[in-house]
Structure formats: structure tokens, C-alpha cells
Amino acid sequence: MSGPGSFPSRPTLRRGVFTTDPRRLAVLYLLLGLAAVILGTLLSLVIRIHRIWPASPFPLYGLLKPEDYLAVVTLHGTLMIFFVLTVVPQQAFPNLVLPAQIGASRMALPRLNAAAFWITLASLLVLLAAFFVPEGAPIAGWTSYPPLSIFAAAGPGQGAGMDCWLVAVLIFCIGAMASAASFLATIVLRRAPGMTFSRLPLTVWSWMVSSALTLIAFSVLLAAAGMLLADRHFGTSFFVPGGEVINGVLQHEPASPGSPMLWLHLFWFFGHPEVYISILPGMGLASSLLANFTRRSVPAYPLMVIATLAIGVFGLGVWGHHIFVSGMNPYAGTAFGLTTMAIAVPSSAEVLTWLAMLFRGKIRATTPMLFAIGFISFFIAGGLTGPILAQPALDSYLHNTFFVVAHFHLVMAMAGVFSIFAGIYYWYPLLTGRRMNETLGKLHFWISLIAAYGTFFPMHLAGLAGEPRHYAQLTGPVESFVSLIPVERGITWSALTLAAAQLIFLCNVFISIRRGNPAGENPWLATTLEWSPIQHPTISDGPYVYGIADGTQKDYLPQWTLPPSNETEQRSRKWDAATEQE
């Protein structure tokens, strides 16, 4: 495109795409998350279909080989954990509302914050490149345990594909840390006058804790992934065990062997805080939504803040419960079991507070509220198996069975995804000025809830029966698990229903952009600042003042106070214009 007409396109590109406006960045992040979740869901359907019809070929691909199955599992896990459950709650949502909720017009370090998105996108592209390199995607699982992840001979995809995975993870770490640093600086320094720490919405507290966890956890992963790359390409032997024989060939023997256990420790020192990085924002959001839709304040606000902080701190000390059966010292196992039990205490404090709010309040069952309740339901259902798996003795039986798959898909995946849905239904008016369709939303909720339990609850039973993870198929020469085939079939149909229900959601999102009911200024009668009609308001109250009966029509007190005269508003506009030039 040339000629005089193309002149304005440069600023448009700069402002439209390479933007530093947090709301636009949030949309970009949401689109990235949408792409990742669609791909991840399709991969999970491939997994489910292959498990019950292992002999039927896929259209356009053909028969799924066992190594293809492992590659699909690896990419499903990586996409979902990094690019959906981290990107959306920890990067998209803060960009959407964090500055507004603390009364700032933008982030403290807008360019760093914007750069984080492009780094994350680059990471996704490198990861997806793994499908197209020779031998295809890696098969080592999203945890990439050595020695499988060290030797290119260990399997198809462990050459270039594994390198793509590692580089993608390295890039992702840098992006996540950049956005976390920007959020922390924003929360600490850009709060509006009057927005004290005791008036922060619980979502902001959650993002503060999860951003601190991001800085700590992802730098560990960065170091570990760097060392694994050095092991693969520079001949070091941090994680390389000695005497490794693959297909009868003795692999490169290091002068003195290293320890795969070190990777396990480092990886899970990242991996467990990662769970809280993706679930804490959902917990903060659930508290806010419950307060709003039961018209009650959050009881024990300080307790909720302390519980959030405690989960963040304890979350750094429980990683060993992922590796009980790895040959770790049994005494260490007991210690990690104890710390894991300890983290149940603040988690239960939050859950009991939510239940108290539900019992005592008048529930307005809007779609975001339903999804928040769904989040709590999954958090409890999945959380209750946590203390079971935290026992080293029980875990030695249940480890690597479908019981574990059920546990983390309920407590992390489904709870995380339902909180994401709650956030999207709730904040949709901020982006479009319209509300999403309630009927479609409720349909989406009920089908998703039932289908999600139908998918993941039976996995407990399959796991108790001993069904292992990462097996491409259950039938074959050994017939131990034939009796589980009906359960598997039910799970697959349920998963297909679950995936199909998301089409309702997608339709709702795109239809409501044009056709949704106009939302008005504060559609949910909320108190937090993202719904404030003016920028730079004066903050006069805590975040959850609901249920007051003073004879007026309003039963809530928003955090903002409208200025008494026109003058203040003009002044804040002037400040805003000046800030934009900065």
C-alpha cells in the first residue's frame, strides 16, 4: 500500500496493534488464550477419542501412533497450563481491570507491560513450531523429566521438537516475569489517593501474590530450562544420569553423571507455585463476585487477605508432594506431606468464608455468579482429594494413575476455566458496553458443569482401579483394564459434550458484541473501581460495602465518590491528558 492514503496507517498500526493501552493488551491476551484453548481442547479430544477407539484413523492424519499420543498429551498440557491458565488469569485479566481497580489510568511501566505480550506470543509460536520440525512435537510430557528430555535418541520429537519446547518455555518465563514486574510496580505505586492497602479489592491482592510467585517461580524454571539446554547441547551433566542405554545403544556417557532428581526438584519448585499463579486470581474474583451477587460484604476481609498471602508463602514449600515416588528420602516425603496439609488451612478458610456468604446472602443467580459457584464447587471437589494425594503412603498407590488426572483437572483446570468464564461474563460490558446473553450463558453453565463432572469425576474410579496415565491405549495383549472401557467411553462422550458446550459460549461472545443488551454504566451494581464512571475518582470506602439499608435506593456504597462539582472532573481530565503525553 503506497500513496498518500497510506500515511495514517502507521499510527493506526502503532496504536491498534503495538499498543500500550492495557485494555487493548487484555483483548490481545484473550485472543491468544482463545487460540491456545481451542487448540488444547482439540488435542484433548484427540486423546479421549483415541483412548476408546485406538484402531480408528483420524481424518487427514491417519492412525495415531503411541508416540503421537504422547506428543498430543505433552502439547495439550503445555498449551493449557502456560498459555491458558497462566495467560488469561494472570496476564489478560490484570491488564483488563487491574489499573482501573486501583484507580490508575494505566500501568506503571506501559512499554514493559506491552512487550510482555509480544514475548508471550513469540513463545507460543516457537512452541507450535514443534509440530512442524522434523520428527514432530516432543513426547516428554509438560514436565519434561530427564533423561527422556535429554537424549534426542529417546524418542521421536526429542530432537528439534524438544528444543522448541525448551526455548518456548524460556521465552515464556521472560514474558511472564516482565508482566509480573509491571503489575507489582503498578499495584505499589499507581494506587489512587485513598486506595490504601486495606481498601484493595481481593482480586488485586491475588494478583499481587501471584505476581510475586511468578517472579520467583518462573526464574527457577528459567534457570532449570537453561541448564537442560546446556545438558543437551554443551555437554554438561547436571541432569544426565550415567549408563543410559536407549534401544541397546549406550548414550553419551558424562565424565560423572548428574541427577535427574535435581530437575524434578527444580521443576516442581516452579510447578507448584504455578498452580497458585493460575488459581489465586480466580479465588479473588470468586470473593468479589460472591459479595456482589449476594449483596453482602466479604466477612473477615483481613482474614481473606492473610489467607491469600499464606497460600502464596506456603505454596513455595510443598513442591515435594509431586515426587513422592521418585526415590526421594522418605523423611522428606513426610515433611512435604505435612506442609501440604498446612496449605489446606488457608484454602479451607477461604472456602468456608465463601460458603458462609452463600448461606447467609440472597443469591442473584446471574451467569457470572453461577460460574463463580461452579469455580467453588470444583475447587472443593478437586481440593478434597488433595490431602489424600498428600499422604506419601496413599500416593505411592495413586501416583501416575487417573486419580491424579482427576484431581488436578478438577482443582486446577476446571476451577481455573470456570473462574475465567466468570471473569469474561462479568467484565464483558467493560469491553463492549453490552452484556452477554443470560439464557445462552446459563445453558452454557449447566451443560458445562454437568459435562465437566461427567468427564473428570469417573476418572477417580478409573484411577482407584489402577488405570495409569500416559498409556496410549488400554487394550492390547494385556487385558487388565478391559473392565474400565465402559467408564472410558462415558468419559469421552462427556468430554465431547463439554467441548461442544463451549460453542454456545463462543456464539454468545460474538453475537453479544452487536446484539447484547446495552449494559449501562454499572450493570452489576458493583462497588469496585473498574465500574467507576469517571477516572481518578476520590476513593472513600472499602471494596465490598454491600447490603446497607439506609432508606435510599442503593444498597451498596461504591468505592468512588462522584465529585461535587464539574470542576474536579475537568481537573482530572486535564491530568489524564497530561499523563497520556508522558
Partner 1 sequence: MPATFTRHQVEIERKDTGYGGKPPLDRRPTGGGGGDDNWDSRPSGRRGPRELLIRYRLAVLSVLTADFVFFAVLISVFFVRPSDGHISPSQGYVSDWHPLLVPPILWINTAILLLSTVTAEIARRQLFHEIDIMEEWLGLGRPAVRRAAPWLAATVVLGGLFLTGQCLAWHQLVQQGLTISTNPNSNFFYLVTVAHGVHLLLGLGALVFALIAMFRLKRVEFRQIAVDCSTWYWHAMGVFWGFIFVLLIASQR
Which of 224, 349, 376, 414 binds partner 1 (CB under 8 A)? It is 224
> How big, in percent rounded to 5, are the helix, strand and coil portions of the chain?
70, 5, 30
Whether 65 contacts 106, CB under 8 Å: no
- Site of grid cell 498409556: 471
Longest dimension (CA), the chain: 83
For the CB of residue 437, give the shortest distance to partner 1 in the complex, in Å: 37
DSSP string covering 343-362 = HHHHHHHHHHHHHHHHHHS-
Closer to partner 1 by Cβ: residue 35 or 185? 185
Q: Please, which of residues 235-274 interact with partner 1 by CB under 8 A?
A: 235-238, 254-256, 258-259, 262, 266
Cell numbers placing 486: 465402559
DSSP state of 518: B
Is residue 215 involved in binding partner 1 (CB under 8 A)?
yes
Q: Tell me which stretch binds partner 1 (CB under 8 A): 219-227, 335-343, 394-402, 440-448.
A: 219-227
Is residue 570 involved in binding partner 1 (CB under 8 A)?
no
According to DSSP H, which parts of 399-437 are helical? 402-408, 415-432
**Rg of the chain over all Cα atoms, to the nearest angstrom:** 25
For the CB of residue 256, give the shortest distance to partner 1 in the complex, in Å: 4
Beta bridge partners of 546: 556
Measured between its terminal Cα atoms, the distance across the chain in Å is 32
Closer to partner 1 by Cβ: residue 215 or 363? 215
Closer to partner 1 by Cβ: residue 122 or 185? 185
Is residue 219 involved in binding partner 1 (CB under 8 A)?
yes
- Return d(Cα 352, Cα 358) in angstroms, integer: 10
Mapped onto helix, strand or coil, the DSSP state of residue 30 is helix
Number of residues that bind partner 1 (CB under 8 A): 48
Closer to partner 1 by Cβ: residue 229 or 358? 229
Does 368 sit behind a cis peptide bond, omega within 30 degrees of 0 on the bond before it? no
Is residue 191 involved in binding partner 1 (CB under 8 A)?
yes
Is residue 222 involved in binding partner 1 (CB under 8 A)?
yes
- Return d(Cα 448, Cα 465) in angstroms, integer: 26
Closer to partner 1 by Cβ: residue 14 or 252? 252
CB atoms within 10 A of CB 145: 17
DSSP state of 213: H
Residues whose CB falls within 8 Å of the CB of residue 384, separated by 6 or more in sequence, listed in order = none
Is residue 172 involved in binding partner 1 (CB under 8 A)?
no
Is residue 227 involved in binding partner 1 (CB under 8 A)?
yes
Binding letters toward partner 1, positions 523-542, x by CB under 8 A? -------------x------
- Return d(Cα 69, Cα 59) in angstroms, integer: 15
For the CB of residue 106, give the shortest distance to partner 1 in the complex, in Å: 8
Is residue 443 involved in binding partner 1 (CB under 8 A)?
no
Q: Please, which of residues 80-119 interact with partner 1 by CB under 8 A?
A: 103-106, 108-109, 112
Closer to partner 1 by Cβ: residue 105 or 377? 105
Binding letters toward partner 1, positions 482-521, x by CB under 8 A? ----------------------------------------
- Where does this chain bind partner 1 (CB under 8 A)? 103-106, 108-109, 112, 177, 180-182, 184-185, 188-193, 215-216, 218-220, 222-224, 226-227, 230, 234-238, 254-256, 258-259, 262, 266, 536, 572, 575, 578-579, 582
